[in-house]
Homo-oligomer: A and B are copies of this chain.
Amino acid sequence: MAASPASAVLEDKGPCSAGHDGSDMIRDVLSRVGDKWSLLIVGSLQDGPQRFTVLQRNIAGISHRMLTHTLRNLERDGLVSRTSYPEIPPRVEYEATELGRTLFEPVLGLVSWAADHHDDILASREAYDDRD
């Protein structure tokens, strides 16, 4: 049991827990963090509150719809807070919550891994594709 505590979090805990073990939780988090835009948005908000159009310019490539949609999800999960000012024209500012900021720490570990090893991955892909 003490042999591999590291991977234990991801493993099935037995036939009786089929459907909702510890892996559901991490998958839940990853499906939020791992989608196409969430991480970019939270990353951009690390610099401080930003309004809708600024975010859209900042992220470069995101569509209007996806920015709205992803911000909704992030707000729902408590990673981003939304403040709307009842003016004309309307102004809305988004900000990373405390939770959103703590999330960024472990994510940075992954980011630096990606920076370190994505060359290896690309090389491995090419080598793989050359076979056959």
Contact = CB atoms under 8 A, between A and B. Distances in A.
Interface of A: 3-4, 6-7, 9-12, 15, 18-19, 21-23, 25-36, 39-40, 43-44, 46-47, 58-61, 75-79, 99, 102-115, 117-118, 120-121, 123-125, 128-129
A110 B107 contact: yes
22 contacts: A10-B39, A10-B43, A10-B44, A11-B43, A12-B58, A12-B59, A22-B115, A23-B40, A27-B36, A30-B110, A31-B34, A32-B121, A33-B110, A34-B35, A76-B125, A76-B128, A78-B128, A99-B121, A102-B113, A106-B106, A106-B109, A106-B112
Contacts of A47: 3-4, 7
